[in-house]
Structure 1
Amino acid sequence: MTDVTAGRGGGAALVLPSAGPDPIPLPTALAAVLGYARGRRPLFFRSPSHPHGRWVQVLAFAHDRFDGQPPETAGSPTDRDVLVAEGLHGRLDPAGWRRVRTALDDVWPVVGTLVDRAAGRAFWELPADEFSVLMEPGTVGAALREVGDRHVRAALHSRYPALVPLLDGVTRRQLYGHVGEGDSGPEAVVHRELTANAAAFTALETATATLLGRPLTRLRLHDVLLWLAGSLRMTHAVAVGRALAADSEQGLDSLLPA
């Protein structure tokens, strides 16, 4: 079995206090992302052709249902935005669906302000002042504070994967303990961790794009690692990623810088 916690990149690590007290070695982070994207679990399934049921292997996490979907790139919100968000956070009941759809329309002027303020820059390229209450109003952090619903966040991240961070109950709790005085919200913590680990996230972005055949921004990679840690799924995802790497012809260590 390929040991993805050693070899190339073995000395590099992501220091993410929101995910835990210990640095995450870069090969371990890559294994976790692979496990998240490709891991499967057994599900007992009944169908007309198999009325007595049978076991099938289904994707364990939301990568294909969310990250694998082509996003809307122009125009006002549509019903499809809600469907994409459901791919990450689960199905909504009719009342919840209408609430999210209405919220997307309501928040759309704020999204326009957010995009204009970013002026083509990615989240991690923005100055720290954009996430300080001392520089409000009009900052990116102030705009993001108006987008609280997790399904709305997911829809907006799908459209702007390098600008709008994801937040749900798990990751929000992980981040809030690290919010400092003057921070506009938990997004300030994400921004600090991305900028402090710029070189490691650049390497992880490159390796992930090669491994999965599609890029994930460092904003999404941070969210995946934080969610896996906060939901106690990190160990499982890493183990699955290692097993998948062992079955492939390309070892994970070859994707990381020496």
Structure 2
Amino acid sequence: MVEPEVDTGAVLVLPSAGPDPIPFAEALAAVVGYARARRPLRFRSPGVPDGRWVRVPAYGWARFDAAPASTGPDADVLLGEGLHGRLDRDGWTDVHDALARVRPLVHDAVRRAAGRPLWTLPSGEFSVLDEPGTVGSLLREVASAAGAHPGHVLAALHHHHPALVPHLTRTTRRALLPHLEEGDSGVEAVVRRELAANERGFAALESAAARATGDAAPTRLRLHDVLLWLATTLRWSHAVHAGRGPDAPG
């Protein structure tokens, strides 16, 4: 397969992430920084009672994007924890039960999509006018049934269906809400529009990010999520700086 050419002057236009176009090189640096940035952590153990400083991954790439495919329900919960932190006993049960509860809805969405990625689906699949049974309506039902820890649930589902089920958090969902248009079935419609409007840019970003990081190849659906999360949580500058630093790959 011929890889998309990268236009160094290209930009991504993502209104949900802010009013200004994002230069392609900056978007790539942000993704690489998300994958490679480290932060200091004070570590203590019986062998080192006074503690010592270690550098650990700043973001969830190694624990989620580069993690192998799940092997069962318990591993699904672990994937969610890789992005959103450890759960207590009640939280673990809640996520475990929610994943079982939404499984039929996800199955119906996958069957309806018929192998097509979210960004190639017709707009009607995300319009209330074409409901019921659309992909958009099914994804909305999944989000509604995701329980008390929707981020964990959607993280696991995205890992299983990386081209169809968006990973959304409360933060990124709030950023998408102002961009809903009349008739949209949910915020997934906004994600689809932005991916479709930037088709060539995200195709190139998929290839460039996979080459630059070397240990994972997230779909453009996940890359959109990463860019939006970095922008809306004020971590953009840190990730870009890390992605352009001397230790960055490529």
Superposition TM-score, scaled by structure 1 size: 0.89
Confirm or deny that 1:104 pairs with 2:131: no
What is the aligned counterpart of 1:228 among 216, 227, 230? Answer: 230
- Is the Cα–Cα contact under 8 Å of residues 9 and 27 in structure 1 kept in the other structure? no
What is the CA-CA distance between 1:157 and the residue it aligns to? 0.3
Measured after TM superposition, the shift of residue 111 of structure 1 is 1.1
State the Cα distance separating 1:248 from its structure 2 match: 5.6
Q: Aligned with 1:232: secondary structure?
A: coil
Matched, 1:162 2:163: yes
Aligned mates of 1:72, 1:163 — CA distance in 2: 17
Give the aligned partner of residue 86 of structure 2: 91
Task: Quote how far apart the aligned CAs of 1:191 are.
Answer: 0.2
Which residues of structure 1 form unaligned runs of 5+? Answer: 1-7, 251-258
**C-alpha distance in 2 between matches for 1:248 and 1:239:** 10
Q: CA deviation at 1:9?
A: 3.2
Say whether the 8 Å CA contact 2:167–2:225 is kept in structure 1: yes
| 3-state SS of 2:179 partner | coil
CA contact (8 A) 1:32 1:241 kept: yes
Residue 123 (structure 1) aligned to one of 114, 118, 121: 118
Deviation at 1:10, TM superposition (A): 3.1
Cα distance, 1:124 vs structure 2: 0.8
CA contact 2:213–2:249 (8 Å) conserved in 1: no
- What root-mean-square deviation, in Å, do the aligned CA atoms of Structure 1 and Structure 2 show? 1.3
Report the Cα distance in structure 2 between the residues aligned to 1:106 and 1:229, rounded to whole angstroms: 32
1:142 aligned residue: 137
Residue 179 of structure 1 aligns with an amino acid whose one-letter code is L
Return the letter of the residue paired with 2:26: T
Shift of 1:150: 1.7
Mapping 1:15-94, distance limit 5 Å? 15-72=13-70, 78-94=73-89
> Distance in 2 between the 1:24 and 1:201 partners?
12
CA shift at 1:247, angstroms?
A: 4.0
Percent sequence identity over aligned pairs? 61
Equivalent residue pairs, number: 238
Q: d(CA) in 1 for partners of 2:249 and 2:109?
A: 43
Give distance in 1, aligned partners of 2:224 and 2:11. Answer: 13
> Cα offset for 1:90?
1.1
Secondary structure at the aligned position of 2:55 is classed as strand
SS at match of 1:167: coil
SS at match of 1:80: helix
Q: C-alpha distance in 1, partners of 2:30/2:175?
A: 18
Query: Relative to 1, partners in 2 of residues 1:163 and 1:248: Cα closer, same or farther, differing over 3 Å?
Result: closer
1:201 corresponds to which letter in structure 2? F
- For the 8 Å contact 1:85–1:155, the answer to whether it is kept is yes
Residues 54 and 125 of structure 1: is their aligned pair in 2 closer, same or farther, counting only changes over 3 Å? same
2:54 alignment partner, SS class: strand
1:202-245 Cα distance to aligned partner (Å, 9 max, x none): 110010111112211000000000000000000110011111xx
1:65–1:88 Cα contact (<8 Å) kept: yes
Q: Deviations over 1:131-185 (max 9, x none)?
A: 0010000000001011222211111001011110011011011100101110000
